[in-house]
C-alpha cells in the first residue's frame, strides 16, 4: 500500500520532533541506534519507512544536521581528503577534483586566461576555499586569485549542495544554478533542459536527467572551443561502472536519463559525484564475469585505489563497454541476468525491467 504524500509528511514531521526529544534524553544510545537503522532503511527504497527517512533527510532540518555531522567526521578522518587527485588541464581550462566527505567529489573548473572559475556540487565550502588557494599559488594565476562566478548544482541532496550558501556568503556575486524542481539551497538561476551557462571561455549545457531526484541535472562542458574533449559532470546519475539509485522516479525515467548520457560522444570525459569505482566494478564482475573491458579497468582501478588515488575521469566510450547500467540494450547482459523480452513487451519497457533487475541485484550486493 502506498502512503499519500500528506501522511508521509505528517509522520516525518512527528518523527523529527520525537527524534529531537530522544536525542536530548539519550544522546549516545540514539546516535548508535540511528546509524544502524538509517543505513538499513535507506537501502530499501520500496519500503514506507524509507519514504519517511528520505523525507526527513530532504525536507527537514534533520537532514542538514546529519550532513553537518558527516562533514565534521570526514574532516577528522580525512584531513587531506579521502583521495589524492591531480588537476587536468587542456588549452587553458583546468579541472580539479576536490575530495569531500567520505567519498564525494566536487569540481573546480577554471578558465586560466581570465582567472574565473565555476564549482560543481560544493558539499564542503572549506575544502573549496583550500583548493582555491592551492590554485592561486600553484598555477601562478593573477595576484587577486580566481574569481568564483558560478556554482553548478546537480541536485538537492546535502552532500552535493550543502556548501552553496556558505560559498555564496563569501562570493556575494556568485550565481547558483540548478533545477527549480529540486529545491536547491541558495538557487539564484533556475535551469531547464539544454539551457546554457557561460563563464569566461567555459561553456556548459545543462541536461535534465530526473530519476535519482525529481530535478537532477548534469552539466556538459563544451571542449570544442579550446580543441579539447568535452567533460560531463554527472552528479549522482552515472558513476564509474555504476549509477545512482532511483529515489524520485521510475525505472523508465532513469533509463531515459541514462540514455541521455549514452548519446554523448565516446570521447567525453566523465567526472562523477562519488568515488565508487572499486565496489561498482566488483558488482559488474558478478554480472558479467567475462567482460574483458571491465577486467582491464578493474586492474587499473585496484592500482589507483591501493594508493588512494582518484579514479576519475573515465570516458563515455569506456563506460558503455563495462558499466552494466549503460548496457541495458546488450544481449550479453540479458543472457548474464537470465532475462528475456516478453511477447507483449516493447523494447523500452524491457530495458527498464533490465535496469530494475540490475538495481535489485546491486542493492543486495551492497548489503552483504
Query: Annotated active-site positions, please?
Result: 155, 157, 159-160, 212, 236, 274
The terminus-to-terminus CA distance of the chain in angstroms comes to: 28
Report how far residue 182's alpha carbon sits from residue 195's, in angstroms, rounded to the nearest whole number: 16
Query: DSSP of 243-283, one letter per residue?
Result: E---SSS-HHHHHHHHHHHHTS-TT-EEEESB--HHHHHHH
> Nine-digit cell at 247?
529515489
The 8-class DSSP code of residue 110 comes to E
Q: Which residues pair with 272 in a beta bridge?
A: 235
Q: Which residues pair with 6 in a beta bridge?
A: none
Q: What share of the chain is helix, strand, coil (3-state, %, to 5)?
A: 45, 20, 35
List the one residue out of 151, 149, 86, 90 whose CA is nearest residue 115.
Answer: 149
**Neighbouring residues of 129: CB distance < 8 A, sequence distance ≥ 6:** 170
Report how far residue 175's alpha carbon sits from residue 171's, in angstroms, rounded to the nearest whole number: 9
> Nine-digit cell at 148?
568564483
**Neighbouring residues of 60: CB distance < 8 A, sequence distance ≥ 6:** 12, 13, 16
Contact status, residue 81 vs residue 87, Cβ threshold 8 Å = no
**Neighbouring residues of 352: CB distance < 8 A, sequence distance ≥ 6:** 250, 251, 252, 254, 255, 328
Amino acid at each position: 500500500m502506498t502512503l499519500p504524500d500528506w501522511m508521509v509528511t505528517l509522520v516525518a514531521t512527528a518523527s523529527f520532533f520525537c527524534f529531537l526529544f530522544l536525542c536530548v534524553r539519550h544522546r549516545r544510545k540514539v546516535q548508535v541506534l540511528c546509524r544502524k537503522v538509517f543505513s538499513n532503511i535507506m537501502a530499501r527504497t520500496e519500503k514506507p519507512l524509507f519514504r519517511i527517512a528520505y523525507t526527513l533527510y530532504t525536507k527537514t532540518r534533520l537532514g542538514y544536521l546529519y550532513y553537518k555531522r558527516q562533514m565534521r567526521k570526514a574532516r577528522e578522518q580525512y584531513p587531506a581528503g579521502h583521495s589524492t587527485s591531480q588537476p587536468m588541464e587542456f588549452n587553458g581550462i583546468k579541472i580539479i577534483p576536490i575530495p569531500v566527505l567520505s567519498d564525494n567529489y566536487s569540481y573546480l573548473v577554471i578558465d586560466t586566461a581570465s582567472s574565473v572559475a565555476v564549482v560543481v556540487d560544493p558539499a564542503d565550502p572549506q575544502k573549496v576555499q583550500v583548493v582555491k588557494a592551492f590554485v592561486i599559488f600553484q598555477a601562478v594565476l593573477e595576484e587577486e586569485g580566481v574569481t568564483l562566478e558560478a556554482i553548478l548544482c546537480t541536485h538537492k541532496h546535502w552532500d552535493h549542495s550543502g556548501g552553496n550558501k556558505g560559498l555564496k556568503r563569501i562570493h556575494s556575486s556568485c550565481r547558483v544554478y540548478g533545477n527549480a524542481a529540486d529545491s536547491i539551497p541558495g538557487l539564484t538561476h533556475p535551469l531547464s533542459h539544454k539551457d546554457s551557462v557561460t563563464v569566461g571561455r567555459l561553456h556548459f549545457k545543462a541536461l535534465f536527467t530526473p530519476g535519482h531526484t525529481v530535478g537532477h541535472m548534469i552539466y556538459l562542458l563544451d571542449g570544442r572551443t579550446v580543441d579539447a574533449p568535452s567533460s560531463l559532470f554527472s552528479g549522482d546519475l552515472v558513476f564509474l561502472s555504476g549509477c545512482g539509485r532511483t529515489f524520485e522516479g521510475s525505472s523508465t525515467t532513469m533509463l531515459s536519463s541514462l540514455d541521455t548520457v549514452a548519446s554523448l560522444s565516446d570521447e567525453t570525459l566523465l567526472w562523477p559525484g562519488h568515488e565508487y569505482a572499486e565496489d561498482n566494478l566488483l558488482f559488474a564482475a558478478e554480472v558479467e564475469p567475462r567482460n574483458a573491458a571491465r577486467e582491464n579497468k578493474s586492474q587499473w582501478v585496484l592500482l589507483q585505489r591501493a594508493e588512494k588515488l582518484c579514479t576519475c575521469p573515465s570516458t563515455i566510450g569506456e563506460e558503455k563497454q563495462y558499466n552494466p547500467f549503460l548496457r541495458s540494450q546488450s544481449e550479453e547482459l540479458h543472457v548474464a541476468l537470465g532475462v528475456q523480452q516478453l511477447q507483449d513487451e516493447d523494447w523500452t519497457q524491457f530495458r527498464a525491467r533490465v535496469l530494475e533487475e540490475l538495481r535489485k541485484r546491486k542493492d543486495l550486493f551492497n548489503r552483504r
